[in-house]
Amino acid sequence: MKVYDLQWFTTFGMGYDEAAAALREDGVDLVLTQNRIDPLPGSGVDQSVYLADNADRLAAYDDRAWVEALQRAGIEVDQTTATFFDPTALDVFPDARPLNARGEPDTGFDWYVGVCPTHEGYLAWKIDRLRRVVEELAPDGLFLQFTRFPGFWENWTWSPDYEFTDRDPFCFCQRCRTLFAAALGLSLPVEDAAGQAEFILNRYEAEWHAWRSRRIVEIVVRTAAEMAVIRPGLEITLNTLPFPATDFGGSDVRRTITAQDLNMLSPVVQRFELMTYLQILNRPIEWVRDAVADAKSRVRPGCEVVCTLQIDSLYTAGIHAGRNRAAQVTADEIEAAGFTALEAGGDGLVFYHWTDFLTDDAAGGRKSTTLRALTGGART
């Protein structure tokens, strides 16, 4: 279960042990949570209202107490980090702002703006925060989100025939171009960023994709090694794009756009989480089979692939309107998607997120009944 906000603690007034017991009774065996040491930046879910209305209650919240309550209840805890998504950090590390193949800086879309994965100063800062998380909160694992080169994948999902342009691939900053050229022993032409990007993609596209993919692997290896010194056996779950090659004419855009090569990554992680958000993706339930089969074909035996199910609708208004996304996610759809993912060979399910279940419960809905049907939980 993804538990990224604190509405269970504020809006619903639950205590640590009470909340942990409720999750355990619902069949949840792993919680992906957040913390105040390395807080998750704001994303597509607006939390400003409940934060403003519950300041006093929030002041009493304790990350360690929450972790310990979950572990007492027999639930594993993964602390979540947004590795290369932190808009405020770009004020501290302005040269970590990525450039696309046109040489244009990433100005962001909606809530998202990426961070360049080759910026050593930023990465050292992030790893230092994660050390504190592992030392102070003693989690069972880390959940690495946004561990990739930039890309707002939500923009690609309205159609499996989305046409990528040179605004989509990142990063072609001076640092990335220099490092790539040095790795291959190349002399780049005397051009601006766009000119050198064109040269690279026209002549060395395969090498470019491989080099970026190795960079992501190196970052995961480095992060895991640093944390293992503090807490041996810490598991690593990697958040990954869900797209099977069948969506884009045989192209593995997970690798070519964001440099997540599951084959290269599978020896260094214990689990891949596929963001199979069907309502955002505007895909039918059966599509989950393709996503699972594609991912499983790329990973080593024993490496888990789990699917995330969306509990409520997102991206239906404002700049996201007009993309035929459903206005709601029903309990029947959640149940059907979950069993389809498991029947297709998925090793588990992730639910995004707990507040949506609690809200549905309060309204007399039956999404929690669906949750228990999928997990074998039996709350009375």
Domain ranges of the chain: 2-375
What is the model's pLDDT at position 324?
86
**Cβ atoms of 167 and 102 closer than 8 Å:** yes
List alpha helices for 138-231, DSSP H: 174-184, 193-203, 205-230
For domain 2-375, the CATH architecture is Alpha-Beta Barrel (3.20)
Work out the angle at residue 35's Cα, subtended by the Cα atoms of residues 32 and 39, and round it to the nearest 5 degrees. 105
pTM for the full model? 0.95
211: helix, strand or coil: helix
Residue 42 has a pLDDT of 79
Residue 280 contacts residue 315 (beta carbons within 8 Å): yes
Closest Cα partner for 189 from 176, 173, 200, 201?
Answer: 200
One pLDDT digit (tens) per residue for the chain, 380 residues: 999 999 999 999 999 999 999 999 999 999 999 999 999 997 655 555 566 677 888 889 999 999 999 999 999 999 999 999 999 999 999 999 999 999 999 998 899 999 999 999 999 999 999 999 999 999 999 999 999 999 998 888 755 567 888 888 999 999 999 999 999 999 999 999 999 999 999 999 999 999 999 999 999 999 999 999 999 999 999 999 999 988 888 889 999 999 999 999 999 999 999 999 999 999 999 999 999 999 999 999 999 999 999 999 999 999 888 888 999 999 999 999 999 999 999 999 999 999 999 999 999 999 999 999 999 987 65
**pLDDT for the residue 43:** 65
3-state secondary structure of 275: coil
What is the torsional sign of CA 341, 233, 82, 256?
Answer: negative
